[in-house]
Amino acid sequence: MKNTNDNQKQLDRFPHQPDANKDYPHHTPQNTLPFADKIGNYQRNIGRPTNVYKDSKVYIIGAGIAGLSSAYYFIRDGKIPAENITFLEQLDISGGSMDGSGNAKDGYLIRGGREMEFTYENFWDVFQDIPAVEMPEPYSVLDEYRLINDDDPNYSIARLLHNQGEIQDFSGFELKKSDQLAIIRLLLKRKEALDDVRVNEYFSDSFFESNFWIFWSTMFAFEKWHSLLELKLYMHRFLHDLDGLHNMSMLVFPKYNQYDGFIVPLRNYLIEKGVTFQYNTSVTDLDIEFEQADNSASVADSAHEPTKMVKAILAEVEGTPTTIAITENDYVVVTTGTMTEDSRYGDNHTAPNLDTVLGNQGQSTGWTLWNTLANKSAVFGHPEKFNGNVAESSWMSATLTCKPSALIDILKTLSVNDPYSGKTATGGIITFTDSNWIMSFTCNRQPHFPDQPDDTLVLWVYSLLMDKEGNYVKKPMPECTGNEILAELCYHLGIIDQLDHVVENTLVRSAYMPYITSQFMARAHGDRPEIVPQGCTNLGLVGQFVETKNDVVFTIESSVRTARVAVYSLLNVKKQVPDIDPSQYDIRHLLRAANTLNDGKGFIGENLLRKLLKDTYYEHILPPAHLDSQEESKRNDFIFSEYWESIKGLWHK
């Protein structure tokens, strides 16, 4: 038997999740660990667990990417036998929100997609060990992914459209100097100062009228009322990608949809290892034993947090109540919340049925367990901050299964390559800037599904502001049938006169998701629980609704990160999970970002830097000089003086 108090002390002692935002990177005689955000193969060492866990059972609640990654790390680094791991999944399929289903006859369905880039270090830490989808051994999913993207660069030639199909200039951000300074000021702010602050409470109206905002909001699904803190974290996390934001040249995509590309191979790997998957199982509660605080504790022990140990899992298996006993040697990992809970569906002729969404918000099955845990203790967070305002957390998507039509004809003119070629097509979403719904659509590499017929393309459409009337269809998007969504799309593409032909050759499956951006809702410290909440000895929380040091939400990387932290912390594996990629501290990326925010026309202090670095080893770190850079630099220097008072206050406002 392990001593839970001693184990908790061990967990507190080893820095499984170092924080680069708090640490000064330096060497000391006693420190043997890498810097907090040191990325690389040194982190691939095999850790040494403090105990032998061959008799421990692991129950993972939720078989999305966070849960699947948890199982992977329990096996690889925790050395727990795979046959000791059981998934308890509410649905009848793995994958959670990373879904992909259907067929060419009935129509394919993808509720959402996630952009990816090079620095998903934890995600690739898993998938460099998972056998490739199509390539033979010894190739991995990572190998296959790299080969596809190295050979076929991603970018867009039509990122923005307006005036019914006309390509709009998308070459620059068009940010005013005051808005550029506001971004810099935000980057300098401490995270603790941004609790419960919304984006539109900080930025001016001109910021929301810029190309930068339309790029940002449509690519990442940010709304004006979302968390300013999360926006800040995104800016740090993807600082190195800013100069590819306008044409999406920083993105990389899999060959197929993300369910077939990632979930299927990882699930199959775990099954082959011996992991058990139990579907149609809804976990409603955890029986947690709370250690009573010792009032006689000495001052030295006053910081001791009473332990919390899971003793049983309460579940319903296909409607039948079931209790699973948990010992102190067993572990439970829970995915808190779900972005795609209570999704509602439509097709060509029907709109999604939303009758009970508002009356049931935050109370449907996927939220039950987190709600219940939060009622037991404040250490489990406040789910109502995320699931209690459907009006601000929902949007709608539609998947189009397309035979040749006028829609495909116009698509070819907006794509980098012929969509039937198997190469990059639109290179990411194309957004209609004059759409009331802020409608976007994309065509990824085809086929998007392994069984997709040669003459069929799969497109994806979504809208950010779906509660407004469409420009052509005078209804909010959730009230629209699939054919009406097609009509709105064809109107904005300038082919409304060929709508009948498009409808005849296009299957539409729509999805209304009431919580799809719930993880972005304005929040304060404590609203999201820690990955291993204070005092918990055998319980970890993973997914999009838990606290990390500096990572963002709404990425598959952050889901995997939480899984890795949970396993290392629970088992006290002597390994660290590196902080996010350190590009935010790299002077090269900082200079490039500053230049990019000003549309490549230079940045404040550029003249001085060019003089200092001319003909030196470090000259190459400066962005290429703009044609008008000298004149622009003079203007920038003037602006520097003009804004000196506000610049002086960057650190304090």
- 282 bridge partner residues: 316
**Both tokens of residue 421?**
């070629």
How far apart CA 336 and CA 379 sit, in angstroms, is 13
CA gap 233, 231 in Å, rounded: 5
Contact 442, 460 (CB under 8 A): yes
Angle at which helix 556-571 crosses helix 65-76, to 10 degrees, equals 40
What does the angle CA 335 – CA 338 – CA 342 come to, to the nearest 5 degrees?
140
Distances (CA, A) of 94 to 258, 304, 315, 398, 459: 12, 39, 18, 21, 23
Going from the C-alpha of 540 to that of each of 56, 95, 529, the distances in angstroms are: 15, 19, 10
The whole-angstrom separation of Cα 625 and Cα 642 is 23
55 burial type by CB count under 10 A (0-12 exposed, 13-18 middle, 19+ buried): exposed
| 399 SS3 class | strand
| Alpha carbons 15 and 574: distance in angstroms, whole number | 9
CB contact burial 339-377 (16+ within 10 A = b; e otherwise) = bbbbbbebbbeebbeeeebeeebbebebbbbbbbbbeeb
The Cα 412–Cα 414 span in angstroms is: 5
Q: Give me the active site residues, please.
A: 115, 234
> Which residues, 6 or more positions from 624, have their beta carbon under 8 angstroms from its beta carbon?
none
Q: In what order do the strands lie in the sheet with 506-513?
A: 166-167, 160-162, 430-432, 439-442, 457-463, 395-402, 506-513, 344-347
Instruction: Check if the beta carbon of residue 15 is closer than 8 Å to that of residue 576.
Output: yes
* Separation of alpha carbons 613 and 101, rounded Å: 55
Q: Residue holding tokens 């190459």?
A: 620
Cα separation of 8 and 305, whole Å?
9
Rounded-to-integer distance, Cα 96 and Cα 560, Å: 13
Whole-number CA gyration radius for the chain: 25
| Contact (CB, 8 A) for 93 and 252 | no
* Helix (H), strand (E) at residue 386: helix 384-387
Q: Which two three-digit tokens encode residue 179?
A: 């808005």
| Bridge partners of residue 625, in order along the sequence | none
Measured at the CA of 220, the angle between CA 439 and CA 387, to 5 degrees, comes to 95
In the chain, the amino acid numbered 276 is: T
Smallest Cα–Cα separation from 168: which of 158, 153, 180, 182?
A: 158
Give the Cα separation of 603 and 623 in Å (integer): 10
Query: Going by DSSP bridges, is the β-strand pair 85-88/58-61 parallel, antiparallel, or unpaired?
Result: parallel
Q: Would you state the structure tokens that stand for residue 618, as one six-digit string? A: 């470090």
CA distance 307 to 292: 8
